[in-house]
């Protein structure tokens, strides 16, 4: 994202973090549930704990000051395919090391959700 828009790399990641977590949760409920206590969430049910963790993560990012959406930084829906292709070409290592194997459909869902 920062390769195309005048934002810091980490800020771009912050914009999509909540959307990424929502999509990645289907692959890593146990991992997200394990991290739930970081937000003072203590629930035994993995599905509920992972859901609440993702929601708390979204609030944390917002409260931290990252309130923009991708549309706020100048991205258009037409840009999404180019961003996905770039991510696959230059960020394959990161995509492959996601808790679940993200495909183009998942990447599109993340970007559209963050739009």
What is the spatial distance between Cα 108 and Cα 34, in angstroms, rounded to a whole number?
27
CATH of the domain at 94: 1.20.1090.10
Q: Give the tens place of pLDDT for each residue, 33-72.
A: 999 999 999 999 999 999 999 999 999 999 999 989 999 9
Split into its structural domains, the chain has a count of: 1
On whether residue 4 sits in a domain, the answer given is no
Nearest to 19 by CA among 93, 89, 75: 75
Domain range for 32 = 9-113
Q: Give the tens place of pLDDT for each residue, 63-97.
A: 999 989 999 998 999 999 999 999 888 888 888 88
Indicate the pTM of the whole model.
0.89
Are the beta carbons of 93 and 75 closer than 8 angstroms?
A: no
**103: CB partners within 8 A, 6+ apart:** none
What is the spatial distance between Cα 79 and Cα 46, in angstroms, rounded to a whole number?
36
On whether residue 1 sits in a domain, the answer given is no
On whether residue 63 sits in a domain, the answer given is yes
What is the spatial distance between Cα 67 and Cα 113, in angstroms, rounded to a whole number?
14
On whether residue 105 sits in a domain, the answer given is yes
Predicted confidence at residue 83, as pLDDT, reads 92
């Amino acid at each position: 994202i920062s390769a195309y828009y005048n934002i810091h790399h980490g800020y771009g990641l912050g914009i999509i973090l909540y959307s990424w977590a929502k999509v990645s949760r289907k692959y890593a409920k146990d991992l997200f549930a394990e991290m739930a206590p970081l937000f003072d969430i203590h629930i035994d049910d993995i599905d509920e704990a992972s859901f609440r963790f993702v929601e708390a993560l979204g609030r944390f990012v917002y409260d931290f000051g990252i309130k923009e959406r991708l549309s706020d930084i100048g991205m258009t829906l037409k840009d999404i395919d180019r961003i996905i292709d770039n991510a696959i070409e230059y960020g394959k290592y990161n995509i492959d090391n996601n808790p679940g194997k993200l495909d183009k459909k998942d990447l599109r869902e993340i970007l559209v959700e963050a739009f």
